[in-house]
Every structure is written in C-alpha cells, then in structure tokens.
Amino acid sequence: MFDIFKKKETVSSNDDKFIKSAALMIHAAKIDENYSEKEKTIIKRTLIELGLKEDKLEKIYNEAETIEQNSNQLLDFTKEIKNSNEEFKIKIIETLWNIIYSDGSSDIYESNFMRRLTGLLYLDKRIVGDIKERIKNKIK
C-alpha cells in the first residue's frame, strides 16, 4: 500500500552515461538486423575501456538493452553523450564504426544513422569520416 514511499534505487549520472552509450551502440548493432555476439563483445569491451567497473557491466548492459528496445528516439541516447568531452565522443564514434564494419560492410541505413548522429553529437564530419576510413581500412 505504501510502496510509493519506498526509496527507489537511483542510477548515478555516470551510470546513466554508460547506459545511454551502451543503448546507442546496441541500436547501431541492430540496424542491420544482425545483432551478433561479436557486436556485443565490442560494446562490452568499450564500456570497460570507458571506465565502467566490470562488476557493473552486466547490469548496465541489460538496462541498456531494455532502454534501446523500448525507445524509438535516437535523442534519448544522445543527450548524455552530447555533453561529454570530445575524447569520450570520439571513442563512441570509433566503436560505432567498429560495430557497423564488424560484418565487413556498411549499408545505407547504417551510414544514414552515422550522419544523423554526427550532427546530434556536434562532431565535425571530417573527423567522423576519418574515423570511418581508418576502421574500414583496418578490416580490409
């Protein structure tokens, strides 16, 4: 009866940043309708590289999957990332291109997604293009 007075578990702003970043990466992985274990590994590895503690990884990842599944707005994922430093944004972009090229190619939907994301994160198109080319050449 008095459930409304129970203290709810709060998510720290840093955790929220990881959740939204992971949700964005999961969204990118699902664009080509082939959400692979390789892509999941890339996402989890990136979260650890960005500073997420390993003991929180599965919880954060599961929350991100739920958020991504229940959202239809790219803006939901980008708000936290947009306010991050340039280094964090670049790491996210590198990871997204790694996810996209993990199957060896990029389709028009994935390319469109990255163009939209570049604008939403206020990143220079040339920087994002350079990252894309570097990742693309690495897989050849």
- Encoded tokens for 24: 């964005």
> Cα separation of 135 and 5, whole Å?
50
Integer Cα distance of 24 and 17 in angstroms: 11
The HSE-up count of residue 19 (CA atoms within 13 Å, CB side) is 18
Domain residue ranges in the chain: 13-139
Predicted pLDDT of residue 85: 92
Q: Stretch 75-86: mean pLDDT, rounded? A: 88
Please give the CATH number for the structural domain made up of 13-139. Answer: 1.10.3680.10
* pLDDT 10s digits, 104-122: 999 999 999 999 999 999 9
Residue-wise pLDDT for 25-39, tens only, equals: 999 999 999 899 999
The answer to whether 135 and 98 are in contact (CB under 8 A) is yes
Instruction: Count Cβ atoms below 10 Å from residue 121 Cβ, excluding itself.
Output: 19
How far, CA to CA in Å, does 124 sit from each of 38, 76, 89? 28, 21, 11
Query: Cα–Cα–Cα angle for 27, 29, 31, nearest 5°?
Result: 70
At 12 the pLDDT is 65
Contact 40, 78 (CB under 8 A): no
